[in-house]
A = this chain, B = another copy of it.
Amino acid sequence: MEVKVVKDILSANDRIARRNQRLLDEHGILTINIMSAPGAGKTSLILQTITKLKQKARIGVIEGDVASTIDANKVHEQGVAAVQINTAGGCHLDANMIESALNNLPLGDIDLLLIENVGNLICPAEFALGEHKRVMLLSLPEGDDKPYKYPLMFTEADVVLINKIDLLPYLEFNTAAFHKAVTGLNPTAKILPVSCKTGEGLEDWFSWLLDAIGEIKRGGSIAC
């Protein structure tokens, strides 16, 4: 009985997510759902991406948080269209929230929409938003065993960014073991080690984004 309710919720969510994606396709907006645990560096990644790509693509941001507008303020200071969604205790964004946010963004003026999901490695992976690609950010200090503990998140990701690699000398993190764990769940995931603090490795992320924007612009959805 309980399972049935969950399925109904997810199926209603998927209907709205498909509607969102059609709208985003019509406008040729590449949309990325960025997910991670709290404090892994989602906002830093978004700020670095804005700084580097704002001359090449018109960027919009949807910020999801349980409370506060700290992140949206940081993004807004960069002169980028930003909408904050506060979930009031909810542990993930859903398609309905994104639909409301899209109504408040200048869709005709955006090429790349970055959605920062609520900091949580569990439920966000279950709720499609209408995005084209899912990006999962693991912060190095979280440890190399996380794919075993939060398998759905790693299974659903198109790109897995390993952030804070500047801390590698001070931590016990087995990069080979982490790669093995991720590819065991998700053989096609692209794994990119980066540091949003030093900028190391981010060029690969920017290239991947620009390629995906190009693909959307050439027409046709690249939905995951």
* A interface residues, Cβ below 8 angstroms from B: 37-40, 65-68, 70, 89-91, 118-123, 126, 139, 141-143, 145-146, 148-152, 164, 166-167, 170-171
Contact = CB atoms under 8 A, between A and B. Distances in A.
Given A39-B139, A89-B152, 11 more contacts: A39-B142, A39-B143, A40-B142, A66-B122, A67-B148, A67-B149, A68-B148, A119-B121, A119-B149, A141-B164, A167-B170
Contacts of A89: 122, 126, 152
A149 B67 CA distance: 5
A31 to B, nearest CB: 23
A70 B167 contact: no
Copies of this chain, complex-wide, total: 2
Contacts of A151: 66-67
Nearest to A118: B122
A166 B169 CA distance: 13
